[in-house]
A and B are shown apart, each in its own frame.
Chain A
Amino acid sequence: MSPALNLGTKPLGWPQSYGEEAAPRMGFFTDTSICIGCKACEIACKEWNEVPEDNLVFSGQSFDNTGALSANSWRHVAFIEQNVPAATPTAEAELPEELRWLMSSDVCKHCTHAACLDVCPTGAIFRTEFGTVVIQDDVCNGCGYCIPACPFGVISRRERDQLPAAAGAEVAGLGTTHKCTLCYDRLKDGMEPACAKACPTNSIQFGELDELRERAGQRVQELQLQGAGEARLYGEDPHDGVGGLGAFFLLLDDPEVYGLPPDPVVPTRHLPEIWGAAVLAGAALAGAVVAAVAGGRK
């Protein structure tokens, strides 16, 4: 009997499923307060992972010509120009405004409860021994279920018509979905991911998630003591709607400002209730049919 049909035993979860290969959960802490917007992470990611160039169009949106995370952009630096009340009011005006330019490098969150993984019908998406979530593009059949499942809009399908002719005919992985692998191949070799390696200011920090959460907690306290009351962590809480993020952030404003959902929930969280409701509804329907048929025979 093949193991797949062994419905009687519950499969082991991560990390026990990896047995001796189990590793601590690894992740990113992106401290956006020290991001200088150099985009070295975007470039290093594309270089290492051979992600194709996807457009050569001027956006007119500050210095952001990447736009969003996609199959062809696994790191995305957001640039947000804001007018905020001045930190040091001068004599001229009571509440003068000053410019603030927020920069933040976004990436796949490697959720504790990853909806993409839950909905993938082919097993192309799996959780690695490092607790990260990876798509195997040679297994992926391009069904696209993972795309709407992701509460962050991280995943998309790589389509030929999205790519400029200059990207070359030999672009790999057409028709399948792609996203950050947290450089699974580099991790296997004991190296840090390309983006973290390239980041000149250590805005992108890579390490064991527990340790990163501790460090992030200290950093946010430090910033608040310095008067940055708006500094907060995003996705560090294991009790949030996705069970905490493997790649979490320190933000200086509301998540929406950075294009992040304020209260992300893994859509599959409600699956049991949905199925329960469906079963009830089915039962009710069946009952109604039976009743109708029975009634009709009266």
Chain B
Amino acid sequence: MGSNMAECHPVGFQWVMEAKLRGAQLIHVDPRFTRTSAMATRYVPIRAGSDIAFLGGIVNYILEHGREFREYVVNYTNAPVIVDEGFKDTEDLDGLFSGFDEETGRYDNSTWQYAGMEVRGAVQSDETALSGHQVGYGGAAAHMRRGEPPEEDPTLEHPRCVFQILKRHFSRYTPELVEEVCGCSREQLVAVAEALCDNSGRERTSAFCYAVGWTQHTIGVQIIRTAAIIQLLLGNMGRTGGGIMALRGHTSIQGSTDIPTLFDILPGYIPMPHAHEQQTLAEFVQQNASTTGWWGRLDAYMVSLLKAYFGDRATAENDFCFDHLPRISGDHSTYQAALDMLEHKVKGFFLWGENPAVGSANSRLHRIALANLEWLVVRDLVEIESASFWHDAPELETGELKTEDIATEVFLLPAAAHTEKNGSFTNTQRLLQWHFKALEPPGDCRSDLWFMYHLGRRIREKLAGSDDPRDRPILDLEWDYPTEGEQEDPRAEAVLREISGWDTEGRAVSGFGDLKADGSTACGCWIYSGCYAGEENLPARKRPGQEQNWVAAEWGWAWPLNRRILYNRASADPDGKPWSERKKYVWWDETQGRWTGYDVPDFGADKRPDYVPPDGALAEKAIAGRHPFIMQADGRGWLFVPSGLQDGPLPTHFEPQESPFRNPLYGQQSNPARKQRRHRLSPFNPTAGHKGGDAYPYVLTTFRLTEHHTAGGMTRTVPYLAEVQPEMFCEVSPALAAERGLENGGWATIITSRTAIEARVLVTDRLRPLQVQGSELHQVAVPWHWGSRGLVTGESANDLFGLALDPNVLIQEVRGATCDIRPGRRPRGPALRELVESYPHARQERHR
């Protein structure tokens, strides 16, 4: 679900095909019948944006029919834990959880806590909440006396225990409701739920694969949460053949969150300090660390990171240069940055690996925003639309921009391709794989590493001798990577070694267990610690599969500590025995007194299954021997999330920001905590039940093709790829084509309150009308690979979307907005804006 794996990850999909050849069932749930659906044992169409209703239907099926893996649920999840008396569910408050503030649109989570204690989201604090960004990504911290909550009911009968709360919360997600919301049949829902239940338990496991079809919603994080609930109830986490696979948008996206390109976290998911108060390192750690679980060692991770950044200049006396770190003062994410450009608050911008003029929601707004910059540095393989907007943006034709009025100085610098540089990729399995330079980059093309290193070196040369305190952070940096070759490319292995870490003698550490808070170790990213253990580039290992066991531990290196399946202690029962011979993976060996198995145990190697933490135990020692989820403060899988999410402890079906339907469950129409970024250039379509809502009767969703890559810079420029998908098109059903007079191969104009674009029409049975809430719904699907440059050009689907964002991660909702569609090409010149202005905009007040 939420993934078109055969098309978007065809190489990884070979393993799905192999599993299918071995008898696995493949189920595909998607608004469109895609090349993935074509390979599936079962395909179920649903309305874009209705995923929580569908998954919630599965949760309800499991609980109604007693299909949960009881022993797993009781011991490994927080199902038995009693929740605070003050907690009120959406069922009680018509779509709101307790703690919602109408003024700020944010939740106070104090009533979502375990009864009698405060559980705080891992390394989360009020400041990060301000940015709307949950930090932790699977980690969780809490102030617990030990990893045990004070009250729990192992019979799961207590009315305030998580299990009963879950049961009540999802009781209305019946097959009938799913049919009404999603547009699939109730039989289809039940068939999928049964297949999942039949293929889970001691002997069998099932896995979910998702991609941006789940994330790009105002409820994206909660969709994934619903899948997590299913997998915990069915006992599919920490076990071979189970799990939830996040298929990434492109190479090393996992790596770019681990060692982040995000504004609010530091490497290894450590939060970025905030500007709002003067804080010492100790206060920062105190505020963000937990007392129990592995996050209890945040001080060691943080000090080692500062030592990696500032080397000998970082000492205990100067707080390890903690004050040198930049501070955040609010939302500095990509969308806010674009809005700030429009206000002339952002003057200069570096852009690499991204093409917002095509790839970001409301790309028209981004093009106009870029034209407000004083300077812009673009590093890419070709002159992408984000570099060329000043001479070929579509807004020149409509008169919204004039080349002679654009003062932006664009520096277009040629970048090396991945084949022209050494480095590592981190994939969805957290597997680091080294890639080797195959040839030198041509001409002036340079690697990202080269650019960043030499830019830093030159800035430091210019600042040398400065006694201005603001230059200290840059001058104090340890910036001495060895270089190689004619172009003086920094050695990528040297960077990897720094990421892995070393001790005072300069010896590579073996893992994050070696890291110290006293300044005697340096480590660029604690979760990657050990990837250079024994002075070996472990990600570069390529020992063939047939020369090792099936887990293939010597192919690359997976964080943390080369564990291939996280939380794999859950592959054994509470006593440490495998759940079944067939699914044997990691188990307790009583004679050796340690955990053993095919993988590196994701658990204290000699922590007995019957270990009970003493009162006052700290960090990992506070986690009991039967609790596998060691990054959580209580060592349990969280069905109910007491802290860490901005929009509720349980997933709830909400309609997208723009929807042709009212929410049949609650008066609350959409996610109340969603972020709406309103701007003159970015209005919203009126939603159902509001004036003008019927002007946009169709659901609009984006998709990708195998033949092109993201915003197209690397593929629309390649003849062999351009010719196999040469033109921007839209997919519509024969019924919609008949309703609107659209002809296959002809042109259509798709209209939202942002703009209108034209596309070729592909009429196909693969898109089918759905019966939703008693009426026939049509969906319009658009690939987003085209822009104004390259061998094949076309209009950008992202122009059509507004800026409604998930509150947790600030990702845009482009999988389920509304639109209108007409036959023929769009009007040219200023007439385009006239057409768009003739359509209604949502009124300013926020709708519930």
- Spell out A's residues near B (CB within 8 Å): 34, 36-40, 42-43, 46-47, 52-60, 62-63, 65-66, 81, 83, 88, 90-92, 98-103, 166-167, 200-202
Contact for A200 among B10, B760, B792, CB less than 8 A: B10
Contact of A167 with B724 in the complex, beta carbons under 8 Å: no
B421 CB, nearest partner CB in chain A, Å: 21
Q: List 5 A-B contacts (CB under 8 A).
A: A36-B35, A39-B706, A39-B724, A60-B745, A101-B38
Contact of B33 with A43 in the complex, beta carbons under 8 Å: no
A278 CB, nearest partner CB in chain B, Å: 45
Contact of A56 with B723 in the complex, beta carbons under 8 Å: yes
Residues of B within 8 A of A62 (CB): 762, 764
Question: Which 5 A-B pairs give the minimum distances between C-beta atoms?
Answer: A60-B745, A53-B719, A58-B727, A101-B38, A56-B726
Contact of A200 with B722 in the complex, beta carbons under 8 Å: no
Q: Is B744 an interface residue (CB 8 A)?
A: yes
Contact of B724 with A43 in the complex, beta carbons under 8 Å: yes
Contact of B706 with A92 in the complex, beta carbons under 8 Å: no
Contact for A36 among B13, B188, B707, CB less than 8 A: B13
Q: Is B340 an interface residue (CB 8 A)?
A: no
Contact for A103 among B38, B760, B766, CB less than 8 A: B38
Contact of A56 with B791 in the complex, beta carbons under 8 Å: yes
Main secondary structure of the interface of A (DSSP, over half): loop
A103 CB, nearest partner CB in chain B, Å: 7
From A38, A59, A91, residue with most partner B Cβ within 10 Å: A38
In the complex, which residues 729-786 of chain B have their Cβ closer than 8 Å to any Cβ of chain A? 729, 744-745, 760-762, 764-766
Q: With A and B bound together, what is the CA distance between A34 and B187 in angstroms? A: 28
Q: With A and B bound together, what is the CA distance between A40 and B39 in angstroms? A: 17
Q: Is B253 an interface residue (CB 8 A)?
A: no
Residues of B within 8 A of A99 (CB): 33, 37, 43, 765-766
Q: With A and B bound together, what is the CA distance between A54 and B726 in angstroms? A: 11
* A39-B724, A60-B744, A66-B724 known; A167 vs B719 contact (CB < 8 Å): yes
Residues of A within 8 A of B185 (CB): 90, 92
B550 CB, nearest partner CB in chain A, Å: 19
From A34, A36, A99, A166, residue with most partner B Cβ within 10 Å: A36
In the complex formed, the residue of B with least CB distance to A98 is B43
Residues of A within 8 A of B762 (CB): 60, 62
Contact of B720 with A46 in the complex, beta carbons under 8 Å: yes
Contact of B6 with A36 in the complex, beta carbons under 8 Å: yes
B37 CB, nearest partner CB in chain A, Å: 7
Contact of B39 with A166 in the complex, beta carbons under 8 Å: no
Contact for B721 among A43, A59, A92, A98, CB less than 8 A: A43
In the complex formed, the residue of B with least CB distance to A90 is B187
Residues of A within 8 A of B724 (CB): 39, 42-43, 65-66
B461 CB, nearest partner CB in chain A, Å: 43
* A36-B17, A38-B706 known; A101 vs B10 contact (CB < 8 Å): no
In the complex formed, the residue of A with least CB distance to B36 is A36
Q: Is B110 an interface residue (CB 8 A)?
A: no
Can you list, as one digit per residue, whether each of B12-25 has a CB less than 8 Å from chain A (1) or not (0)?
01100100010000
Residues of A within 8 A of B745 (CB): 58-60
Q: Is B725 an interface residue (CB 8 A)?
A: yes
Contact of B13 with A65 in the complex, beta carbons under 8 Å: no
A8 CB, nearest partner CB in chain B, Å: 51
A199 CB, nearest partner CB in chain B, Å: 9
B764 CB, nearest partner CB in chain A, Å: 6
Q: With A and B bound together, what is the CA distance between A88 and B42 in angstroms? A: 9
* A34-B17, A46-B720 known; A65 vs B726 contact (CB < 8 Å): yes
Q: With A and B bound together, what is the CA distance between A11 and B11 in angstroms? A: 47
Q: With A and B bound together, what is the CA distance between A38 and B706 in angstroms? A: 6
Contact of A101 with B37 in the complex, beta carbons under 8 Å: yes
Q: Is B331 an interface residue (CB 8 A)?
A: no
Contact for A101 among B33, B42, B706, B744, CB less than 8 A: B33
Q: Is B7 an interface residue (CB 8 A)?
A: yes
Contact of A200 with B765 in the complex, beta carbons under 8 Å: no
Contact of A166 with B720 in the complex, beta carbons under 8 Å: no
Q: What 17 new A-B contacts, CB under 8 Å, besides A36-B35, A65-B725?
A: A34-B21, A36-B6, A37-B706, A38-B7, A38-B10, A40-B10, A42-B724, A56-B723, A56-B726, A56-B791, A98-B43, A99-B766, A101-B33, A101-B37, A166-B719, A166-B791, A200-B13
Q: With A and B bound together, what is the CA distance between A37 and B188 in angstroms? A: 26
Residues of B within 8 A of A88 (CB): 42, 191
In the complex formed, the residue of A with least CB distance to B42 is A88
B155 CB, nearest partner CB in chain A, Å: 38
Q: With A and B bound together, what is the CA distance between A165 and B744 in angstroms? A: 27
Residues of A within 8 A of B729 (CB): 58
B667 CB, nearest partner CB in chain A, Å: 32
Contact for B39 among A36, A47, A53, A54, CB less than 8 A: A36
Contact of A103 with B35 in the complex, beta carbons under 8 Å: yes
Contact of A100 with B38 in the complex, beta carbons under 8 Å: yes
Contact of A201 with B13 in the complex, beta carbons under 8 Å: yes
Contact for A81 among B10, B42, B760, B765, CB less than 8 A: B765
Q: With A and B bound together, what is the CA distance between A136 and B603 in angstroms? A: 64
In the complex formed, the residue of B with least CB distance to A167 is B719
In the complex, which residues 537-556 of chain B have their Cβ closer than 8 Å to any Cβ of chain A? none
Residues of A within 8 A of B764 (CB): 62, 81
Residues of A within 8 A of B14 (CB): 200-202
Residues of B within 8 A of A66 (CB): 723-724
B35 CB, nearest partner CB in chain A, Å: 5
In the complex formed, the residue of A with least CB distance to B743 is A60
Residues of B within 8 A of A98 (CB): 43
Q: With A and B bound together, what is the CA distance between A70 and B705 in angstroms? A: 24
Residues of B within 8 A of A34 (CB): 17, 21, 39
Contact of A83 with B765 in the complex, beta carbons under 8 Å: yes
Contact of B33 with A201 in the complex, beta carbons under 8 Å: no
Q: With A and B bound together, what is the CA distance between A36 and B762 in angstroms? A: 20
B428 CB, nearest partner CB in chain A, Å: 16
Q: With A and B bound together, what is the CA distance between A114 and B727 in angstroms? A: 38
* A166-B719, A201-B17 known; A57 vs B726 contact (CB < 8 Å): yes
Q: With A and B bound together, what is the CA distance between A60 and B730 in angstroms? A: 11
A57 CB, nearest partner CB in chain B, Å: 6
Residues of A within 8 A of B37 (CB): 99, 101
* A37-B38, A81-B765, A99-B766 known; A53 vs B13 contact (CB < 8 Å): no
In the complex formed, the residue of A with least CB distance to B764 is A81
* A43-B720, A58-B745, A101-B37 known; A91 vs B706 contact (CB < 8 Å): no
B45 CB, nearest partner CB in chain A, Å: 10
Residues of A within 8 A of B38 (CB): 36-37, 100-103
Residues of B within 8 A of A100 (CB): 38
Q: With A and B bound together, what is the CA distance between A36 and B38 in angstroms? A: 8
Contact of A56 with B33 in the complex, beta carbons under 8 Å: no
In the complex formed, the residue of A with least CB distance to B727 is A58
Residues of A within 8 A of B705 (CB): 63
Q: With A and B bound together, what is the CA distance between A99 and B40 in angstroms? A: 11
Q: With A and B bound together, what is the CA distance between A40 and B37 in angstroms? A: 19
B121 CB, nearest partner CB in chain A, Å: 39
Q: With A and B bound together, what is the CA distance between A88 and B599 in angstroms? A: 39
A280 CB, nearest partner CB in chain B, Å: 51
In the complex formed, the residue of B with least CB distance to A55 is B723
Q: With A and B bound together, what is the CA distance between A101 and B4 in angstroms? A: 15
Residues of A within 8 A of B6 (CB): 36-38
B649 CB, nearest partner CB in chain A, Å: 36
Residues of B within 8 A of A81 (CB): 764-766
Contact of A101 with B766 in the complex, beta carbons under 8 Å: yes
Contact of A36 with B723 in the complex, beta carbons under 8 Å: no
Residues of B within 8 A of A92 (CB): 185, 187
Contact for A56 among B7, B13, B722, B765, CB less than 8 A: B722
In the complex formed, the residue of A with least CB distance to B762 is A60
A137 CB, nearest partner CB in chain B, Å: 20
Can you list, as one digit per residue, whether each of B127-143 has a CB less than 8 Å from chain A (1) or not (0)?
00000000000000000
B768 CB, nearest partner CB in chain A, Å: 8
Q: With A and B bound together, what is the CA distance between A60 and B726 in angstroms? A: 11
Residues of A within 8 A of B721 (CB): 43
In the complex formed, the residue of A with least CB distance to B792 is A56
B823 CB, nearest partner CB in chain A, Å: 14
